[in-house]
Amino acid sequence: MRSTVNKVSYLRGEVEVAPDKSISHRTVILSALAEGRSRVKNFLQAEDTLTTCSCLQSLGLSIQLQDNELLIDSPGINQLREPEVVLDCGNSGTTMRLLAGLLAGRPFTAVLSGDASLNKRPMRRVLIPLSSMGMRFMARQDTYPPIAVQGGSLQGIEYQMPVASAQVKSALLLAGLQAAGVTTVLENALSRDHTERMLAAMGAQIERQPGRVRVVPGAELSPQDWEVPNDISSAAFFLVAASIVPNSEILLKQVGVNPTRDGILDVLRSMGADLEIINPHTAGGEPVADILVRTAPLRAVEIQGDIMPRLIDELPVIAVAMAVADGTSVVRDAEELRVKETDRIAAITSELSRLGVAIEATPDGFVVDGTKSCLRGATVNSHGDHRIAMSLAIAGLIADQPTYIDNAEAVNISYPEFWNTIQTLSR
């Protein structure tokens, strides 16, 4: 599908962006642990999360949408059944990695596969520590999907994460709940902590210290009524859009502002963005707030180090903000972008270059010279990556000529209403 984006004179209004994708995935997967009915308000109904639902149904869960609420009935972790089909994880690395942890302690074999993009993403970082706990697996080219997981008796471990990853950490915690003995995960940089918060709410014995998460198995977990905040990763596109489109003012409602996810706010503030946090409160165990953003002149920034796990998914749209900032911006320590839905460093640099942005890729990031950038319309490609598609759309809002985005349907992976949101705000 090709979408056309035209320059707009302003963006204004109040909007609720898509519900949080990371938390939506976890409401379904973690609900499998506890026998009984869990309920989810504001569940993200997008391709990735519906893929997770389908996989859990194959493991014996009953999942249905009723009156805008997701109802999940689980037989409990010990009654999950061996799937009769390959568990198709689609484009979702979260689904594949967390299910590997869930299945690691189950006494049966399951096969995890995905689409062409996901099956090109290495799973070594999750498979190796899980195998050290006792899980056995077979994979293509050693650690590439499809993956056959043979679960069984697990032993708790202490594991030092070489790279901060909430997905790998979550998989180890899920396996640790089923292991003999304690499992401890050590992190040099803090990754998003939704799994720890949610497991604690279910009654798991989770102990958290700076740089360390410890799970003690044996606690009886209870089903929950979950409430999913709106996704700060989806809000990021409109935080940038309102900052760079002239005469703009947007109020983003009920956005999750978990401190392990809010790096985008710190970066935009350091660039001079006009942001205001309104009505901060807690919902479903997660910090939530409204965010008011207005047009402001931006300045260049350098991003590197410990902040990366807090904004890794937002870097493509941050590159768009850098394209209009005064000066030269630099992103370092972002190697993780190379193994996302696509090589996002290569994708965002090649496609923004087509639009007239002075951007160059580096092995671990990119450099953007805002003083030499002049956004013009062009035909660009999402590379099948939802965040690349949406980032290019935001750039198109200030380009002098129309921007044509091929494979624009990729937005359905996380934000099916994205195009409608743009239309609403630009009327």
In a domain, residue 313? The reply is yes
Residues 403 and 258 in one domain: yes
* Set 20, 193, 290, 313: catalytic member: 313
In a domain, residue 224? The reply is no
For residue 220, give both structure tokens: 């009886």
Phi-psi bin for 320: left (phi > 0), alpha (psi -120 to 50), beta?
alpha
Residues 326 and 367 in one domain: yes
CB 146: neighbour CB atoms within 10 A?
18
Residues 166 and 251 in one domain: no
> Is 364 annotated in the active site?
no
Q: What are phi and psi of 421, to 5 degrees?
A: -60, -45
Residues 267 and 251 in one domain: yes
- Cα separation values, 415 from 20, 47, 49, 395, 404, Å: 10, 9, 11, 17, 19
For residue 377, give both structure tokens: 């319309």
| Domain limit, last residue, from 190, 215, 240 | 215
Residues 10 and 26 in one domain: no
What's the predicted TM-score (pTM) here? 0.93
Q: Domain with 84 in it: what CATH number?
A: 3.65.10.10
pLDDT of residue 427: 85
Element (H, E) at 253: strand 249-256
pLDDT of residue 285: 82
Per-residue pLDDT of the chain (427 residues; tens, 9 = 90+): 999 999 999 999 999 999 999 999 999 999 999 999 999 999 999 999 999 999 999 999 999 999 889 999 999 999 999 999 999 999 999 999 999 999 999 999 999 999 999 999 999 999 999 999 999 999 998 899 999 999 999 999 999 999 889 999 999 999 999 999 999 999 988 899 999 999 999 999 999 998 999 999 999 999 999 999 999 999 999 999 999 999 999 999 999 999 999 999 999 999 999 999 999 998 878 999 999 999 999 999 999 998 998 999 999 999 999 999 999 999 999 988 887 778 999 999 999 999 999 999 999 999 999 999 899 999 999 999 999 999 999 999 999 999 999 999 999 999 999 999 999 999 8
SS3 content of the chain, % helix, strand, coil (to 5): 35, 30, 35
| Domain limit, last residue, from 183, 215, 247 | 215
Residues 270 and 342 in one domain: yes
Residues 206 and 254 in one domain: no
Question: In sequence order, which residues have a C-beta less than 8 Å from that of residue 29 and are 6 or more positions away?
Answer: 52, 56, 95, 98, 99, 102, 174
In a domain, residue 225? The reply is no
Residues 397 and 312 in one domain: yes
Range of the domain at 271: 2-18+230-426
CA 370, CA 212: separation in Å to the nearest integer? 39
CA 329, CA 391: separation in Å to the nearest integer? 17
Phi-psi bin for 34: left (phi > 0), alpha (psi -120 to 50), beta?
beta
CA 343, CA 84: separation in Å to the nearest integer? 33
Residues 183 and 34 in one domain: yes
Nearest to 241 by CA among 384, 359, 392: 392
CA 253, CA 324: separation in Å to the nearest integer? 26
Phi-psi bin for 284: left (phi > 0), alpha (psi -120 to 50), beta?
left
In a domain, residue 221? The reply is no
Question: In sequence order, which residues have a C-beta less than 8 Å from that of residue 299 and are 6 or more positions away?
Answer: 271, 272, 325, 326, 327
In a domain, residue 222? The reply is no
Residues 90 and 118 in one domain: yes
CA 277, CA 407: separation in Å to the nearest integer? 34
In a domain, residue 401? The reply is yes
Number of domains in the chain: 2
In a domain, residue 111? The reply is yes
- Whether a cis peptide bond, with omega within 30° of 0, leads into 280 is no
| Domain limit, last residue, from 189, 215, 241 | 215
Residues 38 and 168 in one domain: yes
Q: Which amino acid is at 206?
A: I
Q: Which amino acid is at 240?
A: V
Residues 377 and 404 in one domain: yes
In a domain, residue 223? The reply is no
Q: What is the DSSP string of 112-174?
A: EE--TTGGGS--HHHHHHHHHHT-EEEEETTTEEEEEEE----B--EEE-SS--HHHHHHHHH
Q: Which amino acid is at 282?
A: T
